[in-house]
Amino acid sequence: MTDYSYISLVLIIPIAVFVITGLFGKKFSAFSGILGTVGMLVTACLAYYTAYQYFIVGGRTDGAYPTIIAFKQTWLQFSPSLSIDFGIMLDPISVMMLVVVTTVSLMVHFYSIGYMHGEERYATYYSFLSLFSFSMLGLVVSTNIFQMYMFWELVGVSSFLLIGHYFEKPSAVSAAKKAFIVTRFADLGFLAGILVLSFYSESLDFQTIIHRMTDHNGVIFLNANAASFMGLSALTWALCLIFIGGAGKSAMFPLHIWLPDAMEGPTPVSALIHAATMVVAGVFLVARLFPVYAQIPITLDVVAYVGIFSAFFAAIIACTQTDIKRVLAFSTMSQIGYMMFSLGVAGGFWREKGLGYTASMFHLFTHAMFKALLFLGAGAVIHYVHSNEMGDMGGLRKKMPITNIVFFIACLAISGVPPLSGFFSKEEILTAAFNHNKIIYAVGILTACLTAFYMFRLYFMIFWNKSSISHHEGEVHHGEAPFTMKLPLILLAIATVVVGFIPFGKYISADGFALESEFHVNLLMIIAVLSGLLGITIATVFYMKPSEMPAKISSSLGSIYSSIHQKFFIDEICFFVTKKIIFNLVSAPSAWFDKNVVDEMMNFISVVTENTSDGIKSFQSGKIADYVLWFFASVIVLSVLIVFYLS
């Protein structure tokens, strides 16, 4: 057995950095960035070492990767059978997530040294980054669902703090609030789900829950499956509720409305939180409980349909957006949709049926790399042009050669062009979908085509299109980007190219056994690639050179275009629901109730209080005889009560 006692350092280092930079950062502002980066570097090295130990040295026992509880401490013992623990669990997906989170976090830390240079709240920024990394790492290694919930909320809080980094900007503040409130709303479902699930499984521990809930003959499973509410079993309800929580964090339709606004945060933050790590927490959650989900096919169908719809829906919207970060935000939502429906189409957790599971995790991994790269690249562009609007950009390929190349690589990867990483994972997802559900497969192919289209639309509008731009004419330019920003871009670009060749199925599969997927060219693969290439071709025709065509098409589509551009008015619908319906029908009556009943009651209480204390005041002024009188009277009352009424 390999020794993993060092693993708690993975959590201790980020929280220590958070405390140090949080408390003393103001004094050593410049130092806090370096401290944060070095801390994350050490954490990342530990994560890599753990992955090496786990996958290569530790290897399989009995053909499957074991689940290792590297550290466990009982925190609250409620009853002999129910306790809340704190622990660190290592299994294939948590080790993979450790690698993803630390890698992206390290890149972002490093990149931010240049990007956030000279910011006023530089130290605060770094301390929050560390807090976020701590929370996210804690989330992925949680041994039980309650611990996960706490870290889940911590992730929400640190995301709130980071989105609201520029708190002087009203839009940033409202975006932070929106993200927080929408995800909190979803977390309510999560919490309810946890309660139902743990009530029936009589445990909070993941391993125990999974063990009990997959045992079809066990009393606990039968109970959970038999108890029904509105036609569905308790277990189904619990899983659906938990999925709501996951959908909130992962920006699935219709809880996605916070994600585009969250782009108000600093761009590296978007790369870390809203591309690679936090938003995949929902996928991770479903994957973590996957064996239980697999017991109830209907819940997996919910996951699959929500996922595919979000993927398609977001892809359509992304085609019309003009803000560079918003395009990326919708593309993130779309890609997470892929991961979700991929989980949904994995019909079971045994061998080949679990292909969707492996594919989902694979896509999570590759997506983290190329999406972080895209965001950081976009950050470099924004840093250079000082604008988020694609209209202000164009023709930057000469001025920003490195960014141009890495961005191009990332766009190819997300479009699924071989041999880049995105191709492998997306192809695997589509194969899984094809085996399970043809409709989902067809929509998936369509979405892949759209993805390629909008990504290359973005790419061409930034780096090609206009030959040179006028509004920066005459200004003295700083260079492309400082070294600290370029290095992460290059490293991530390399990762984007190579991670696709990792034989992922060997390491991560639903049942822990190796999933041997032989790589050979087949029709499905060709269709997937062709759909991507088609999207790229259309984008090239439209946007590589300035042309009138896109404008013509958009105007001919008229109201359809504008409704897509306005994101199908989902925000407006939400506002309508909250402002008009909830405020008028729920809040206004409760406000009336509050004002006229609660307040009056409070006033009444205060009047009573005042009168009572006025009454008592007269003998609190020093007459001890009155005290004694009260004392004696109370003794008599008490004695009478005891002797006559309570015995």
Partner 1 sequence: MSLLNYISMMRFELFALGVIIFLLLVKIFSEKLNTSFILGLINFSLVVLLAASFIGHPHGSVFGGMFLNDGTIILEKQIITFATLLIFLQANFWLKKQENCLEFCLLLFSVLIGMYFLVSSGNFLMFYLGLEMATIPLAALAAFEFGRMRSAEAAGKMILSSAFSSAILLFGLSLIYGTTGSLDFNEVSLVFSSSSALQLFTLAFVFVGFAFKISIVPFHLWTADVYEGSPVAVTSFLSVVSKGASLFIFMTVLYRVFPIAQETWVHILVLLSAITMTIGNLFAMRQTNIKRFLAFSSITQAGYILIGVTSASALSMASVIYFILIYTFSNICAFTVVSIIANRNGKEDIGDYKGLYKTNPLLSIAMMLAVFSLAGIPPTAGFFGKLFLLTSGASAGLIVLLIIASLNMVVSLYYYLRIVKAMFVDKNENPVEKISTDVSAKAVLVICIAGILVIGFISFVFEYIHSLSFGI
Q: Encoding tokens for residue 369?
A: 């790399």
| Closest CB to partner 1 among residues 408, 619 | 619
Range in contact with partner 1 (rule: CB under 8 A) among 226-234, 390-398, 487-495, 603-611: 603-611
Kindly give, in sequence order, each residue whose CB lies less than 8 Å from that of residue 401, ignoring residues fewer than 6 positions away.
480
User: Smallest distance from the beta carbon of 642 to partner 1, in angstroms?
Assistant: 5
User: Smallest distance from the beta carbon of 74 to partner 1, in angstroms?
Assistant: 6
Does 1 bind partner 1 (CB under 8 A)? Our answer is no
Range in contact with partner 1 (rule: CB under 8 A) among 203-211, 286-294, 310-318, 635-643: 635-643
User: Smallest distance from the beta carbon of 179 to partner 1, in angstroms?
Assistant: 23
Kindly give, in sequence order, each residue whose CB lies less than 8 Å from that of residue 221, ignoring residues fewer than 6 positions away.
212, 213, 214, 215, 235, 295
For helices 170-201 and 206-213, the axis angle rounded to 10 degrees is 50
Secondary-structure breakdown of the chain: helix, strand, coil percentages, each rounded to the nearest 5: 75, 5, 20
What is the Cα–Cα distance from 143 to 185, expressed in whole angstroms?
24
For partner 1 (CB under 8 A), the number of binding residues is 30
User: Smallest distance from the beta carbon of 624 to partner 1, in angstroms?
Assistant: 5
In the 8-state DSSP scheme, what is residue 67? P
Per-residue binder mask for partner 1 (CB under 8 A), 290-329, x = binder: ----------------------------------------
User: Smallest distance from the beta carbon of 326 to partner 1, in angstroms?
Assistant: 37
The single residue among 467, 584, 590, 639 that binds partner 1, judged by CB under 8 A, is 639
Going 222 to 226 to 229 to 230, the CA torsion angle's sign is positive
Q: Encoding tokens for residue 292?
A: 């239980």
Does 12 bind partner 1 (CB under 8 A)? Our answer is no
Does 622 bind partner 1 (CB under 8 A)? Our answer is yes
What is the Cα–Cα distance from 217 to 307, expressed in whole angstroms?
31
Closest Cα partner for 461 from 411, 402, 534? 411
The 3 state secondary structure assigned to 328-347 is: HHHHHHHHHHHHHHHHHHCC
What is the Cα–Cα distance from 517 to 509, expressed in whole angstroms?
11
| Closest CB to partner 1 among residues 78, 478 | 78
Does 566 bind partner 1 (CB under 8 A)? Our answer is no
| Closest CB to partner 1 among residues 518, 614 | 614
Q: Encoding tokens for residue 20?
A: 């140090």
The single residue among 541, 583, 609, 615 that binds partner 1, judged by CB under 8 A, is 609
| Closest CB to partner 1 among residues 131, 328 | 131
The single residue among 61, 77, 522, 590 that binds partner 1, judged by CB under 8 A, is 77
User: Smallest distance from the beta carbon of 620 to partner 1, in angstroms?
Assistant: 7
Does 630 bind partner 1 (CB under 8 A)? Our answer is yes
The single residue among 38, 76, 195, 222 that binds partner 1, judged by CB under 8 A, is 76
The single residue among 61, 74, 547, 555 that binds partner 1, judged by CB under 8 A, is 74
User: Smallest distance from the beta carbon of 631 to partner 1, in angstroms?
Assistant: 6
User: Smallest distance from the beta carbon of 119 to partner 1, in angstroms?
Assistant: 25
Range in contact with partner 1 (rule: CB under 8 A) among 68-76, 223-231, 293-301, 438-446: 68-76
Does 590 bind partner 1 (CB under 8 A)? Our answer is no
Range in contact with partner 1 (rule: CB under 8 A) among 124-132, 203-211, 549-557, 614-622: 614-622
| Closest CB to partner 1 among residues 578, 609 | 609
At residue 418, the 3 state secondary structure works out as: coil
Q: Encoding tokens for residue 451?
A: 């993805």
User: Smallest distance from the beta carbon of 80 to partner 1, in angstroms?
Assistant: 12
Helix (H) or strand (E) holding 77: strand 68-77
Kindly give, in sequence order, each residue whose CB lies less than 8 Å from that of residue 199, ignoring residues fewer than 6 positions away.
none
Query: What φ, ψ does residue 164 adopt, rounded to 5°?
Result: -85, 25
Range in contact with partner 1 (rule: CB under 8 A) among 62-70, 364-372, 408-416, 617-625: 617-625
Question: What does the buried/exposed string (b/e) look like for 376-397 if buried means 16 or more CB atoms within 10 Å of the residue's CB?
Answer: bbbbbbbbbbeebebebbbbbb
Kindly give, in sequence order, each residue whose CB lies less than 8 Å from that of residue 310, ignoring residues fewer than 6 positions away.
251, 252, 253, 256, 333, 334, 336, 337, 340
Does 56 bind partner 1 (CB under 8 A)? Our answer is no
User: Smallest distance from the beta carbon of 146 to partner 1, in angstroms?
Assistant: 14
Query: What φ, ψ does residue 77 adopt, rounded to 5°?
Result: -100, 105
In the 8-state DSSP scheme, what is residue 479? -
Does 23 bind partner 1 (CB under 8 A)? Our answer is no
Does 634 bind partner 1 (CB under 8 A)? Our answer is yes
At residue 73, the 3 state secondary structure works out as: strand
| Closest CB to partner 1 among residues 38, 76 | 76
Binding site for partner 1 (CB under 8 A): 73-78, 605, 609-610, 612-613, 616, 619-620, 622, 624, 627-628, 630-632, 634-635, 638-639, 641-643, 646-647
